[in-house]
Each structure stands twice: as C-alpha cells, then as structure tokens.
Chains A and B, each alone.
Chain A
Amino acid sequence: MLLTITTTYQPASDISFLFHKHPSKIQEFETTGGKAHVFYPHVSDEQCTIALLLDIDPIGLVRKSSGPAGNEFALEQYVNDRPYVASSLMSAAIAKAFSSAMNGRSKDKPELVEMAMPFRVRLAVLPVRGGEALLRHLFEPLGYTVAVQKHLLNDNVPDWGESRYFTVTLEHTITLQQLLTHLYVLIPVCDNDKHYWIGNQEVEKLLEKGRSWLPAHPARELIAMRYLKHQRRLANEALEVLLKDDAAPEEEEPEAIRQKGRMHTARLEAARDALVQSGVRTVVDLGCGEGKLLRLLLAEKGFEKILGMDISYHALEIAKDKLKLDRLPPRQQERIRLIHGSLTYRDKRIEGFEGATLVEVIEHLDEPRLAALEKVVFQYARPAVVVVTTPNAEYNVKLPMQSKSGMRHADHRFEWTRKQFSKWGERLAAQYGYEVSFRSVGDEDPEVGALSQLAMFKNKTEANDGNNPSATPAD
C-alpha cells in the first residue's frame, strides 16, 4: 500500500519536476478501489523522497464489484490482504499518479526525462508468490540491487512461519520512466493474485510498457503469464508480438510435467487396449474426468455404446466441450453419453454395460468408502470386464515432487504398493466371482516397478458365455 521512491540525484528536489507533484502539498486523488495520497516525506537538495500511499476502501472493493470476478459467497472475499498490499491496484495508482513520468514527459525540465538517476524504491508490503528467489529473478536481471525484509505470519506465533509479504528495497540507477514501467508490470507479477483488470487492452499495455526490456528478460514467459493472469492465449499473443523478430519462444515444459503427460496417455492406452482385447462392445468410463479416455474409446469402432460418468459437473462440461459432443454427427452422438454421478451410490444408469474402466479413480476415495464403490461396480453394475488403474506407491521414491501428504496428488487418499493392490483385487475377485490379472503400466524398474498398475477383472459367469456378454445398456 506504500511506495516510496528516493533519489540522491543532485539537486534531488528536481525530481518533483519529473513527478509533476509539488513538494509541499499532500495530494489526494481517486484511484481504482479507493484513494491515493502523494506526498514528500523528505525534501532536500541531497536527497528527496516521494511517497504514494494507497488507501483502498475494503468495503467498497467488494460492494462496487469493481474487483475481479470472485466468489462473493466466500468469506475470503471480505477479509483479505488486498487493502494492504502492493498489487495491480498499486500499478493502477502509479499509472494515474505518475502518468507524465511514466510517459516520459516533463513540462519544465524535459532534459531530466532521459537521465539515469540513482533511485531507491521501497514497497511495503509486496506479496510475492515464489518467495525471495522469484523476487530476485524478476528484478536482478534488470540491474536492481534487491534487499528484502521477510515478515512472519504472526510475530507472536513464530511456529506458523513466514508469510508471503516482504518489505522490499530496490536500488538502481535508471531513468524514472523505466523504473515506473518495471514496477507497473512486475508488482502484479509478484503478487500473482486477483488482478483488478484483465482483457485485451492489457496485452497492449504489456506490450507498451515492456517493449524495451521484456523480450530480453529471462523470465519473460512467467511475467507474461502472470501479468495476464494465466490466460495462456493472451500470454502467447503478447509474446508473439514481442518476440516477432527473435526466434519463436520455446515451449519450455519441464521434463517432469512432460513425463507425467506421457504417463497418463500410456495409462489411458493401456485401459483402452485391455478393453479392445476383451471384445466388449459397450463401455462405461467411471470417473471420466475431462474425457481423455473417452476420446480414445470413441476412435474405436468396436465400441457401440460409450458412457462417461464423473462426480465433477465442471469436468463433464469440459469433456463435453473437448469432445465437441454437440457437433458430432448424429450416429456418433448416439454412441456416447455423459452423466453426472457418483461411485459411492448405486446407479442404474451404469448397469448393463459390458466393460467398465476406473482409471486413476479409486485413490480419490477414502479407503472406508471403497466398500461402496466395490458394491456399486461389482455387485450391481456387474460388467463382464472391469479395468482398474491406480498409482504404484513403491515408485514414489523415484518421483521428485510430492505433496505434503507424501502422495502424488493432494486429493489422493491413499496410494498402494503392488502387493496392496493385488490383495485388494484378489479379495474383490473372490467375493464377486471375477478373475483378475495384474500388470504394470509404464517403464518398469526392477526394484520398485512402474509408475502405475493395472488390474483386469473378468466376470467368471459372463466369461463362460464365450466372451459375448448379452446385456445391453439401459438408455
């Protein structure tokens, strides 16, 4: 909420001509979300400091709904750090308070505009997602000397650890215009929270403010992404324009993520292949998520009827979109359907299918609730073939990133070793009259096995019918 800029340029008081602000006045003006005050804490020929104090109206911020679209039915909308931090609101205030300086104009002393001056900037407080390292990564390539003071969440309870807030001091000899544009762009990038703007004109602002320095910045992608609030489309657009003279930006996907993606595809393909081999003609993908497996299944002509079920309505909407269900030809449309459902409730709509898949689903249920899923699938729906995949916990030692719980995903309630998985599978098979076989999915390590594991269940009574299950799905 507080930005001070100090210079030791001689005579320091000349700086007021750059800011177009009279040193003896305390000016107040309206800005997005509240008011801003501009004043001079210190003026002398040796040193001059100007302050921009942002006075955000916490209630107006919510009531006027000038803020970002958030969930107004969540309490965090009302009690939050926005009134107290340097965020996009600060950038907006900078642009308004110091518009001439930012645009490189000085009525009375135009010669100062192009002059690099020694500046010291202080921000209290700046939220930084990514910590001190990120802060340095953003400012140091531009030539700043960075000094930070970290703040605890609560000084009385040091156990809670550090907050994401810093009082930041930046020093550089630079033109004021450059300094302000850096701050304008990088403050919201540090914050990386709700921005009080977003839209196509932001691309232009970024282009305008970043033209001279962003293309060469090593963190340009991250800056564009965060500045444009993770709207990849906008971010790419901006980068393309900025870099049109250079080589196209490399899609820098970390190896870990790429491997994860490959792995997931391998799992889906394994599930599909298992179904294809079993000869089933009707399939239900239980926990279909955004429809990645459904897409593979749709491509197989042998599947006459495909049903995707998921507990997340949102995921189903994405699936519908990604599979372009509305635009499929009628014949194709008839083959596939999506339903909102749960695996802990019996559901007649999933009964009567020959094949079922549970790809990376069971680990999202609390273990005691698994009993319900077992009944829903193996007792009531009773498909001839069931394919289940789940992470192999043994492999976790080879994975770099793990969540607090020591599992691969924050929502995983358990991850099983191969032994635990096969014990579960064999118990199920015995209880419900299935045969079961297990296999690894992914490159196998001699010690810990592969990333994922797959169980294939075949209904014994159905198998006797010559792999030609007679049931047809209910519509």
Chain B
Amino acid sequence: MQKAYNKTGQIQLPELSLVVLMGISGSGKSSFAARHFLPQEIVSSDACRAIVSNDENNQHASHDAFELAQFIVSKRLRNGLLTVIDATNTQEEARKDWVQLARQFHVLPIAIVLNLPEIVCAERNRLRADRNLKKHVLPQQSSQLKRSLRRLKLEGFRQIVELRSTEEVAAVQDIIRTPLYNNKSLVQGPFDIIGDVHGCYDELCELLTELGYQLDKANHRCTAAPVGDDGRQRQVVFLGDLVDRGPDTPSVLKLVMQMVKTGMAWCVPGNHDAKLLKWLKGKDVQLKHGLQQSVEQLLLEPVHFREEIKAFIDGLIGHYVFDGGRLVVAHAGLKAEMQGRGSGAVREFCLYGETTGETDEFGLPVRYNWAAEYKGSALVVYGHTPVPEPQWLNRTIDIDTGCVFGGKLTALRYPEKELVSVTARQVYCEPAKPLHHTTTSLTLQQQEDEVLDIADFTGKRIIETAFHHTVTIREENSIAALEVMSRFAINPKWLLYLPPTMSPSETSRLDDYLEHPAEAFGYFEGVGVEKVVCEEKHMGSRAIVVVGRDEEAVRRTFGISNEGSGVIYTRTGRPYFNDKETEQALLQRLNKALFHSGFYDLFKTDWVCLDCELMPWSAKAQSLIETQYASTGAAAMHALTASLETLQQTALWNGEAQPLINRYQERLQQTNGYIKAYQRYCWSVNRLEDYKLAPFHIMATEGKAWMDKDHEWHMNQIEAVCEADPEILLATPYKVVHISDAEAKQEAIDWWLERTGRGGEGMVVKPFNFVHTGKRGLIQPAIKVRGKEYLRIIYGPEYDSPENLARLKSRGLSAKRALALREFALGMEGLQRFVSGEPLRRVHECAFGVLALESEPVDPRL
C-alpha cells in the first residue's frame, strides 16, 4: 500500500487518470471530491441514480445509474479528461468495470480509499434525513472494503492512496496533477529523428556528422549539437532498436546513453532493446534475431557497463509527444487514440505495433497497417519495419531504411521534414525479406488513396482553413455533394481544386444599369484595398486544367495511370469533354506551349493546375442553349413579331393601338438584343483551334500553391505561356487600377463600357493581391461586373425596361458573398494541402466541401 500523502499534504496523480474513490456510505467521498476536483470531473453514482429515477437513494435504479455513469466516463476518457468516480466501490465487480474502462482508453486507474472508522460513518448517516440505511448495510460494506484493500494492486490500480481517519482526510491540502512521462509538449525541437541503428556505429557517426553534430567517435561522445535557424540547439531522437544484428552494439549504446544523459538526445525503446533488457535481467531468452551478436559483444564489456545499460533501457519511455502535440515518436508507431496515454497496451504497441496474426510469404508476421487508417493530427515518426524509402502516409512516416541489412540509416529533420541518409557500409545481416520488395510504382499514400472512406465526407463537417477560420458544411449539402461527386465527378485524385463562386458588384445607383464598375471599386475601397486588377471576363465555361509533362509525371504526382496526361474539368468536378480525345489533344497543345515557353523549367515542376475559362460557351452548354436560351429567343421573336403585326393592323383603323405598338416595338428590340447577346458566345467547333482557352490563375505546381503572388504576376506568367500558342491560348486583357486614382478608375469604366458595348461579358475586379485580408477578415477575392447586354441572358430579354429594372434592383448579395468567401477559403486550403503532400482524404475534403456549398440555395442570377 502506498503512503497516503507526503508531509506537505499533497497527493500526486497523473494528469490523465481515472480516479476511483472508495469508501463506505458516510465516509465523505462526495465532500472529498468536491474539495479537490472540479464539479464536471466528478461522476457520482447518487447523481446518476437521481437522473434515471428522480431519487438518488433508489437502489433499484442502480443498474441504470451505473450504465449512465459508464457512458459519461467513456466519453470523458475518450476526450482525454481526468475523471473521478464517486461511488462506494466496495465491491470488486464494480471496480473491475472501472479498471476495464481505464484500460480501454489507456488512462491510469487510481484508487483513493477513504477508510474511516465505521462508527464515524454511521453517525454521519444518522444525521442525514434523506439517508435511511438498513442496519446490515454499513457492516457489510465495511467488510467488503477491508477484504478489497489487499486486492487493489492485483486488480490493476496503478496507484493506491488510503486515508484512514478524518484527520488524514482533512490533512490533504492539494492534489497535484503530474504530466505523464511521455508528455513533452513543451519540448519543441528542432529534432533530428533517427531510425533503427542496430549496432551500426560507423553509419550512426557518419549520419550525426552529416547532420552537423560534433563527435568524439573513439570515446563515444557527442561534443556539440548544431544550432537551428531559430537559434535553438537541435536534439536527436532515437527511435529504438539500437542493438542487435550489427557490428558494434556497445559503441552505439555508449554514444546514445551519453547523448541522452547530457540532454542532447531522446530515446524510445524498440523491441530488440526490450529483449536485450530481459537477457540483462537474467531472464531466459532465446539468443535469436541478432540478440546473439549483442550478447557476444556485451560479454566483452565490463559488468558495470551492462548494469548501466540495464538501467538505461529500463528507464526508457515508450513514446514521446513533442511540440505541443504536433509530433509523436515511437519505435513501431502509435495510433491516435493511444498518443499521450499510458497503459500496458500502449507500451506494447510502441514496441511491437500490431500484427494480424497471419504470416507472409517470407514467414514474417503480417503487420496490421495502422498507418493506413491513421487520421490523427500529430505527425508520427517511427521505425521497426525496414522499408526501401521512407514515405509519408497519412502524416506518418517509417524511417527504418534497414541499415543493418545493407540499406541506409536515415534521419528525419523536424520541423523541416527533410530526410538525410547515409548508405550502409556493408550488409551486416541478410534480411528474411528482400529490402526492395515492391510490386507497384505508386507511393504508399497513392495506393492508400485509391479509395476514399465515405465516413470522412458525409454528415455535418467542420473544416479548418488557413484563411477563413473554419467552414461548416451542413449535412443536407453533404448528401447532395455525395450524389454529384459519385455520379458525375472525375477521379478524386485529380480534384485538387474546385473554384469558388463569384459575387457581382452591388446594384448600380445609375438608373439604366443593374451593374456598374463604380460599385466594385467602392467595395474594395470600403474594405481598405488600395490597388485592384480589372480583368476581362470571358464568356465561356469555367474549366480547371491539370496537365503534366507526360503520363509519367501524372503518375508520380497524382498516382493516376492510363487516364492521359491531364484532365479538364468543370467547376463541379465533371469532365469538361465527353470525348477523351479532344481533351487530350487540347492538353497536348497546352503542354507544348508550357514546354516551349520554358514554364516547366522556370517553375521547377512537371505539372500545373490552371484556373481557366474555356470557349466557346456553346461547346459545353449547347443543349442548355438550345432548350433554354435559343428557345426563349425563338418564342419571343415570333410571338412579338406576330403581335406587332396584329397591333399595326389594328392601328389602321383604331388610334388607341399606338401606345401598345410603341411598347411592343421596344420589346421586340430587346428580344433582338437578347438573341444577339447569347449568339455572340456560340460558335461551332470543327477543329481544335476553334476552342479558346484563357487561363487566369496559376493555382499550383510541384510543391507550391501560388496564391501568395499578386494577380499581375499571374497575368504575366500566363501571357508568356499563351504567346507560345496564340491559336488556342488566350491571354486575358487587364488593367491595374489604384483606387485613389479617379482618372484610372474612369479609364477602367470606359474600358468596360467599350468592351461590353461590343458584346463583352464584362470584367472581374480583384484585389491586387490574390488573398487580401482586411480588418474584418478575408475579403471577396473577386467581384464581377457584367455588361448591360450580357445581363439579358441572365435576367431575361426585357430586364432593362424601367419597370423591370426598378424591381430587379432590390437584390441581396450577402448570402452569395458569404458563400464565395467560404468556397474560396476551402479551395485555397485544398491546394495547400495537396502541395504539402497531405493525404487525398484531406484534399478531397475541401473539394467535396466546395461542391456541398454549391448546393446551398442562392439566387442563380447573381
């Protein structure tokens, strides 16, 4: 039995534990709990009985109350919260369930026993009007408690505190919560994390030297660590399996022990280290799997050194959580729900991982692929299983590159995420399974990303974005997105980006206009933007282009084979072209232009994602044009012509018809304008050159999303590419306007009037910088100002009659603008995640989110 408390009246508890109070009725458990813990940390059986039965003493309700308590405790422990059970807990069956629950969530079960004299408790109960215990109850509880005391350790309680008198209870001043040994959140690195060394001392020294550590190799000492960019000293983290198989286990141990002792390094144990410990402790172990080498080498060393090793390994902590929870290291990796927790199961996992119980063709145990299902937010760096090349998979990486088997010894630099390796000098041990045993050319992540899990996308979702806090997707919108995505969208591996919707300018104050550039300038001025770009708005269809230098580049980057050297998709993720041939031919032309303009070299990439407009409109929207736009035009034209003829006939003898004639003449004219407006964007496509592709944003290239560059940069880079193939590629005319420059603004307005007067769709006004955050957060990334004639297509042929315009001018933009911001933030987030090499799940989440948001009801004319 542990001593109750130290002299200063303190009890120390692990910060994450399940505290089981024990004591007979009247022993003061509830008062004790109330004094030392927060109300929300206490789960009381009396309270639960009251909740399920209105009576906290109702013993018939005990079963339900216990289930409720268990449910609450489970939720709290899952969320990593210390919890206190306030119940008598004198029966072993009751306690067994709590210990079981603690184990399930890998927290430590702690018992605090209030073992007060029965007479004291009886007196207290007598004074309580609401408690009417039968005579036999207290003695029965008492004897149960006495019997239990000895058994607590065996039952699995990791710490037992017994308080034997009211004085002892009163003397407890504080309950100190101590961090778990593995919690090194405050240690931020930078780190150099080194995989399985297995006695390869030469390679270890070489690697450390390469990393900038100064070594006294002969004396197994590290004398100085390199300093990181921020002035902090770098620290080494050893991932375990220091020993066995290799040529010089003692030297490795000496160096590592020295570095750990002097605070230059951290070390977690590996399964080989644990096995060696057993041998050192004199246990009966088989000298197999390389242990025999360690033993032979260590027997040549002095006994006291072996004692030191024993103490060293025995004191190693299974895993560490570093840098505010962003980095986890363990020999065999660690599932999210075990990180920062303590239990036998956690330690086992750290040492051995999990196996499926099967063996593979080489007779080795098949390892359960926990990393494939890993969805935690911390990076997990581990070793244990030799791999030819370290590869990120769902934010985990195995950096055991099999040095002892003739591979490499690898270090991961954190937070840089750079890999540094030295090649093994020789094969020290023949591996049971060839090191280079791969059957596919895809990376681990790409293989894993072949199929996404529906659970990651459906239901209500809250997505963290860098630019706009969080974006919430409602369940009904996810449902719609799932259907569209599944039935129509292209392979999700292509879908790194879906473009946001764009809001029009506020309604014009001018009588004749619904939209006018003045309001767009006004908006940006109002949110503190000094400079904007005005880009001509092309009237085609939005198209996202992803193109690679060749199919090999596509395979390497996207993990896609046999789907061509790129893709062109719509703003809802559908293939733009129905026939693959045209798509690929167009991509080939673009590819050549990118190549000849030197784009690939300049950007050090072999792929690019471009946001574009693809013309003609009729190429994508032909059936819409026929069923809707042309139909309306034909109906209006013929109906109005006939009406006008009839009115004119009437006017021959009835002067009253004249006002109607005037009105119908105007309507006919408006209809002509409408037909002209839509027809301008339709032309037939007979050859490839009839398509025009106008890119306006460079979204991403290898390792980089380009939203940190301003729009002028984007325009210039794109112009250079377009010059290489002007037959198909169209550079977008634009103007840069300083908001304070009235003359420049007027010039831009005149430009707009001139362009739209000639049938142009209009222009898009954007803040000069791609992403602009004002005082009140992210601002609109773009505002469209559409031409007067063009708007007939949107608002109907006769929208500009004064009586119509007056009504149309009352339109609300707030929903549209909020949507545009959320979609923009998601789009940028998805791209950033893609270029940072995050799992597809995380990229798809953003594209899926944009699609879901698009199903929100918003006036489609905006």
Contact = CB atoms under 8 A, between A and B. Distances in A.
Contacts of A347: 453-455
Given A78-B795, A79-B796, A151-B634, A51 B482 contact: no
A230 interface: no
A322 interface: no
Contact of B861 (A78, A163, A366): A78
A396 to B, nearest CB: 20
Given A58-B798, A78-B794, A26 B649 contact: no
Contacts of B563: 368
A364 B633 contact: no
26 contacts: A2-B646, A25-B656, A26-B657, A43-B653, A58-B804, A59-B796, A73-B858, A77-B860, A78-B795, A84-B640, A124-B643, A125-B642, A152-B634, A154-B630, A159-B684, A160-B630, A161-B626, A313-B479, A313-B483, A341-B482, A344-B451, A345-B453, A345-B486, A364-B487, A366-B490, A376-B451
**Which has the most chain A C-beta neighbours within 10 Å: B634, B649, B795?**
B634
B292 interface: no
B636 A83 contact: yes
Interface string B618-650: 000000001011111111101110110011011
Interface string A373-393: 001100110000000000000
A157 interface: yes
Interface in B480-499: 482-483, 485-487, 490-491
Contact of A163 (B485, B634, B643): B634
Given A39-B654, A153-B634, A312-B483, 17 more contacts: A39-B657, A41-B650, A51-B650, A53-B646, A75-B794, A79-B797, A84-B635, A125-B639, A125-B642, A157-B682, A165-B634, A311-B487, A313-B483, A342-B483, A342-B485, A346-B453, A372-B451
Contact of B660 (A26, A77, A154): A26
Contacts of A140: none
B857 interface: yes
A371 B450 CA distance: 9
Contact of B454 (A40, A74, A346, A375): A346
Interface in A259-288: none
A97 to B, nearest CB: 15
Interface in A309-363: 311-313, 340-348
A154 B486 contact: no
Contact of B654 (A26, A164, A371): A26
A37 B657 CA distance: 10
Given A4-B646, A59-B807, A73-B857, A341 B796 contact: no
Interface string A151-189: 111101101110111010000000000000000000000
Nearest to A42: B649
A80 interface: yes
Given A81-B631, A154-B634, A343 B660 contact: no
B794 A81 contact: no
B520 to A, nearest CB: 22
Contact of A346 (B451, B632, B859): B451
Interface of A: 1-2, 4, 24-26, 37, 39-43, 51, 53, 58-59, 63, 72-81, 83-85, 122, 124-125, 127, 151-154, 156-157, 159-161, 163-165, 167, 311-313, 340-348, 364, 366, 368-369, 371-372, 375-376, 379-380, 411
A76 B861 CA distance: 10
Contacts of B647: 41, 53
B161 interface: no
Given A2-B643, A25-B656, A160 B626 contact: yes
Contacts of A51: 646, 650
Interface residues of B, number: 62
A371 B442 CA distance: 15
A380 B562 CA distance: 23
A370 to B, nearest CB: 11
A110 to B, nearest CB: 28
A163 B675 CA distance: 14
Contacts of A73: 857-860
Contacts of A368: 491, 562-563
A51 B651 CA distance: 13
B679 A156 contact: yes
Contacts, number: 182
B685 to A, nearest CB: 12
B452 interface: yes
A163 B639 CA distance: 13
Contacts of B807: 59, 63
B227 interface: no
A27 B660 CA distance: 12
A85 to B, nearest CB: 5
Contacts of B798: 58, 83
A53 B659 CA distance: 14
B824 interface: no
A41 B649 contact: yes
B311 interface: no
Nearest to B856: A73
A84 B638 CA distance: 9
Contacts of A53: 643, 646-647, 660
A84 B646 contact: no
A342 B650 contact: no
A341 B458 CA distance: 9
B457 interface: yes
Contacts of B646: 2, 4, 41, 51, 53
A25 B657 CA distance: 9
B454 A342 contact: yes
Identify the interface centre among B630, B632, B804: most chain A CB within 10 Å of its CB.
B632
Contacts of B653: 42-43
Interface in B700-728: none
B793 interface: yes
Interface string B775-819: 000000000000000000111111100001001100000000000
A357 to B, nearest CB: 18
A84 B794 contact: no
Contact of B679 (A157, A159, A167, A313): A157
